[in-house]
Each structure stands twice: as C-alpha cells, then as structure tokens.
Structure 1
Amino acid sequence: MSVNQQDLLSISPNHKDYLYHKIKNKTARIGVIGLGYVGLPTAFEKAEEGYDVIGFDVSDLKVKQVNGGKNYINDIDDAKFNEITKARKKLSATTDFSKLNQVDVVLICVPTPIDEYKQPDLYFVRSATDSIAANLHPGMLVILESTTYPGTTEEIMMPLFAEKGYTAGKDLFVAYSPERIDPGNRKFGIKNTPKIVGGVTEHCTSLAAGFIGEVAYPVSSVKVAEMAKVYENTFRFINIAFANEMAVLGEKMDIDMWEVIEASGTKPYGFMKFFPGPGVGGHCIPVDPYYLTYKAKEMNQNTKLIELAGEINNNMSEVVVNRAMKALNEHGKAINGSKVVLLGAAYKKDIGDMRESPILPILDELANANAEIKVCDPFIHQVPINNNMHPTVNYSKKLLQNADLVIIGTDHTCFNYKEILEQSKIVLDTRNACKNIGEKYTNYIR
C-alpha cells in the first residue's frame, strides 16, 4: 500500500520523514547541476540505482549529447549509458534551470577554479545556488559536492535560502559531501569510495547520509566535511612538493630518488610513497590548497608550508625545461630550433584530461625558447601553447627518429617505452616510465 504525501504529513508534520520515504523507495527525483567529470558520473550512478535523474548544464552540447545517449566521460560504460538514457529513460538533461522545482534532491557538481591570483572563484557555486533558491520547495535536500573552503555552505548558500523563508533541518535540508572521483581509476569509483558528509543540522546530515548510502561517512558538521576535502588534497600537494624538491637535490648528488623512495617504502609503517614529476595537475590537487590559504588569510593566519609547496611544484616546469636545454647542449645542440617531441599532455596517465596539467607550462616555456614542438597524446586532439590551440600528432617511429629530444610528459600505458628508447636520440623521462629498461640506454635521462 503506497503512502502519498498528504497521508505521510498527517502522520508526521515534518518534511524529513516524507523525503526519507521517497529516497528509500527511489521515487525521489534527483537533479544534478553540472555535467562534467564529476556531475555526469554522479548522475549516471544515481540513475543506475533506479532514481529518475535530471542533469542541468549551461552547455547546449552536453545536454544534447546526454539526451542523445552519447557518453563523453571515459569512466562511464558507453553501452550502459545509452541504456540508462535511451532505453530506460532514467537520465535526461536540460538547460532550463526552472525545472529544479520538479526535483527533491539537488547535487551541485560545478567547477570551483582559482583565478590568476590564486583566489577562489565561486561564481558557479553562487549561480547554482541562485537557481536552486529561485525554485525551492518544502522538503528539498541540497548537497554541495564541489570543492571549496570551510564556511562556503553556511556563509554563501544558506543566506540565499533563508531569504526565501526556509529553515535548515525543518523544511529544507542542506549538506556538504565532497566528490571523490579519480578519473581513470578502475579500482575505486563512486560505488566503493567512502564519501564524507556533513549537514547544516543533524537532520540534514542523516538525510544526506541516507541518500548517499553505504559509502557515507557522516561527520559532526558541514565545516568538518569542507575542511576534510581541502585537507586531504593539500596533504598530497605538500608531499609531492617534497618529492620534487628531493628529486632536484638527488640529481645534484647523483642519487636516484625514485629508487630511494621505493626503498623507503619497504617500511611497513609511518611512510607513504609520493613520487616526483613535472609538477601537479588535475582539478583538485593544484587548486584545493589555495582555498585553504585564502580562508586562512581571512583569519590573519599564514600557511607558509602550503605556499612554499606551491612554489616548488610550480617551479618544476622550469626544472624540466632546464634539463632539456642541458641534455641538448651535451649533444651539441641549442634548444632554439631543436625538434622536441612531447609524449603525453594529460595531467595523469590513460585519460584525456588536461585540467591544470603540469605539461602545459612546459610547452609554453619550450615555445618561448623557440623549440619546434610536436605533441603526441592518443587521448587528446589538440593542446594550447601560449593560448593558441595546436593539433596533436600520431605516434610513429619516424616521429621519434626525427626528434632531437623526446620528453615523456605523461606515462600513458599505450606508449612502447622500449621502442621510444631505441628510436630516439635523447629521452627525458619526467615520470620514471622507463624505470625497468632505461638504465640500459645511454640516451636516457630522468
């Protein structure tokens, strides 16, 4: 026997019970704002769970692709996506944000970039909140998933909802549950990665945790949830900086720091391996720490360690280019006019994501030094060099043979590293991709 809204509210006058009932029996309609690397997989997973899901985005192209059953995110199975959108019709998309008044649960999955001054840009969060506030109805659950600084949910979102006469924990439920999506990770995804959740009130937390399901990890407050997200990525940011600094020192001392780190990693406690590279990239690690420094400055606190780590990581592009110049000089060539092939432009292997890729500033610096650059990345069709888009090239032996220098920028597993070493004049490996074979070749540098 079904229970309609009026019957349930006559039993319990609060909206929490009714919304919990709809979430439990999958009759709640879900809205996801932002259909990018986080939003689309989230919308897809909720649709697979049995909910009816509406995706909201300002991009006509993304909306058209979703409604046409065309998947554009690598981590989603194309056939399953087509089934969910076309056959089962559990997921649709729209640019009409007034349709938010039709949903019961709203997930905000919009970008939170930093500007040129390393200041948080919350334009998309504010815009999404404005759209929700304009279409609020009693008994709605709103969950912010975008990375931000502690205080955003209560200081930016809640005042807009309060202006509409809503009270958190009574007729509106608001929580923060940061996304934990690692593009290209085949082991951990949305279904098996613990998900932190903190609500504005206890009712908000329990309702949001119930919606998230078994992977939910409730915390005592929304600020704890917000801090946890920036803390975990700042932790990685700082430790990568230490590995990068030691790699530069190791080169001066003729010590293989990759071997050092592997050796240190044999300790079964008290050590976690972080490896050096050409810098840090992606939508989280290069960005999140600056949300924390921004908030700290509001409270007249310095975050010297974070700022120093940023300086070290940002300097790695210069380190790579200087090593390229030195390698060419040792072979009697200047960087000016040299043919340089860069293998891989994505921020991590086996994906086509260039967000904050550490390879991009390397390309700019090589171009400024008048090198003739060709970029090969099977996952990417074009790359920006000094604000101009350039097409990538196909991998071939001839490409390697014609180059004065080959730089391994991203260690995609599809590259044949033995062939790269055999066919290239000089190989500069920024990822230790050739660790098992490189020492056999005199043209190999890392």
Structure 2
Amino acid sequence: MISDYLPLLLFALVFVLILFGYPVAFTLGGLSVLAGVIIYDLDFFYLLSLRIYGTMHNFVLVAVPLFVFMGIMLEKSGLAESLLETMSHLFGRLKGGLAISVVIVGGMLAASTGIVGATVITMGLISLPTMLKKGYSPELATGTIASSGTLGQIIPPSVVLVLLGSVLNVSVGDLFTAALIPGILLVVMYILYIVIKAQLNPKSAPGITQEESDHFWSEGAWKRIIHAFVLPFALILLVLGSIFTGIASPTEAAAVGALGAIGLTALQKKLNFGIVKEVMRDTTFLTCMVFMILVGATSFSLVFRAMGGDKILADMITQAGLSPNMFLIVVLLVVFVAGFFIDFIEIIFIIVPVAAPIFSAMGIDLVWIGILIALNLQTSFLTPPFGFALFYLKGVAPPEIKTSQLYRGIVPFVIIQVILLIMVIVFPEIVSFLPNLNN
C-alpha cells in the first residue's frame, strides 16, 4: 500500500527541501501542518498547540538560553585570550607545545562555555597567526584549532546534551556525568596525536625559543598563571560540581553559570552596558533559532507518529532482521552522513525523535545512545562541505590559508573521533562508569 510509505515520503521530502536551502524550522513546521490538516482537518491545530505547550513547559530547556548566555559572556570577558597566552608559554618549549596548549584550552573553554563558534573564532584569531609564525604546518595548526573548538559538543555543560536529553527524555544530569570520561579521553587522544606528529615531523610543530620562555618566566609568571587558571576553574567547579554532587539541577546550574560569567567579566573589567546588550542580543538570536526548529520538529514528530511512521520503521527493522547493534550502526551512519550536509540541531530534532522510540523498545540504554550521538554530531562541525567549525576558522584565518589545507588538517582529528566512537560502542562502561558510581 502506498499509504504505508507516506511517513517515509514526508521524512524524505523534509531532507530534500533542507538540502535545497529552505529554512529548517519552516520546512519542518510547514510540511507537518499541511500533512496534519489533511489527516486531522482543523482539529490538528488543537493537538499541535497541546504538544507545543507540553514541550515548552519542559523546565530542562530553560538551560539552553542560560548556557548560551554564559558562553557568549565569557567569550567577551577576555578569559580565553588570557588562557591561551599563558598556556602557550607553559607548553611552548615542547615540540608541538603550542598545539597541545590549544587542545587543553579548548577543553577548558568547552567545560566553561560550550559555544563552538565563539571558541573556534577566539582561538583562530589568537593562536593561528602565532602558530604559523613559529613554523607550524598550516594543516596541523588549523586542524588542531578547529577540532579543539568542537570539544564543547561533548564536554559538559553542552547545549547538544541538553537538547538530546529533552528529545530522548533522559536526565540531562546523567548525560553530563556520562559524557565526562569520553570528553577527557578525546582531549588525551588529540594530545597523543600531536605529540606523535611532532616527533615524526619536528618541522611541522616546533617549540618556542628559550629567549621567549625566559622572558615569560621573568615577568610575574606565577601571578599570570594563577589569574588565568583560577577563574575558569572556579566557574567549572560552580557549574559541573553542583550538578555532579546533586546540589543543583542542570537548569539551576546553568543559572549559576550565567551569573558567574557576569561576575568573571566584571572582574576582568570588561563588563559594561554595551557588552550586556550585545550578549543578550546574540543569546536571543541563538535561542530563538533553536526553539523555532524545536517547534517545527514537534509538529513533524506529531504527524510522523500519527501516520504510523515509527511503527512502519519498527516493522521494517523486524522484517530486515536487524539486531539492536545493527540498527545502532545504521542510525550512527545516517547521523554521520547527515552531518556532512545539515546542522547538528536539525539532526537532533529530525533523526533522533524517529529512532529514539525504537531504541527504547529494544531495551537499549538511552543515556549511552545520547553520548554516541553527541560524539557523532561533533564530527558534523568538522566534515566538509558544511562543517561550521571550518567556516568559522576560514573567516578569521590569514589569506594564505587555503580551504584545501583546512580540509586536510581536520582529517586526522575526525579519524580520532571515529576511533573514540567505536571504543564507546565496544566498551559501554566508558559511559556508564560515572553514572553508576553516583547511583
């Protein structure tokens, strides 16, 4: 029966229109409303209003604008610049030391902001010219900065994990706890790659001169180190510590983080009305974009399930004889390929709601699924042609940096992410260890 495949045709049509450049929120919402009116008549609008109200009543989603606000405010505070400059001198004498410092700072910024665009642009403006001037290969320099900037996708507090928690209907606190070890492992694997690369090809990753190092240590080095590290660590402790110890929910911790970011910006003497206005405007813009897509995705999910789409998919999997592991691999491959063409928010709100009920019916741990999808989504920021981290970095890179060098530079880091993804699939304990410890 052709009617049996209408939900899949609707799903395919959404993808095609998005690839043609139509706005995601209005494509999802518009097509869903048309299909819903055809199926339910005007009663669809009543059902839709109830569903949207139920989604917007989700207290967890309040964390999204708060974490976005925190990240943008910290980007304006100058904290990233202080961290990068200090760290580059601490590791500068090592072969590949500048690249290692970028990775560590990327991890720290991820744990304090979680905003990929701001992190990549900041590190690109500060570190890339320095790395190129010191003789780093353009591929290693750009690859390190772009991939380190995306660590905010997996290291909590992460907007991606908040959205995944909402869609998968699991605890965001559990997702944050479960993501900590994979996030740290990814940082360690990046550093190991840089160390090995620097040993095999020292010219691609030279250290700073003894004269530069001596100059740093002769001028109040310890005061600068303490100032650069204490402030971000205090914020990380406030936000993540309150979540992991159970003192605060992720939403409450996000509020603490937003207030802490204002305080840190004031301590840096950067807080003024202009900064506050700019941060609030950017936060409003990003939050509106996320929630408009969420409303469209809610409409799509309502219609797709009403048409029996989830049942059709489940029947197809049963008839195909796919085991839970095979279905997981298929979903991860779809997410990986989709990441080449569409944004991570779109993937979360289009693909994940379709697959989540099937994972749940198969008895698979949805927290584990959430971490796997988050790791997978991280590659969407790096994979051409639409890798947003690459666009951000290209926009602030010197004119001599070619797009082809950017693409070649991120290949090893994408491979590292895929290796970690496979490790987490094979050894689920990497994800479950900390949540089980808390329970």
Asked if these proteins are the same fold (TM beyond 0.5), I'd say no
Give the structure-2-normalised TM-score. 0.21
Structure with the larger helix share? 2
Query: Radius of gyration: which is bigger?
Result: 1
Structure with greater contact order relative to length (CA < 8 Å, sep ≥ 6): 2
Structure with the larger strand share? 1
Give the structure-1-normalised TM-score. 0.21
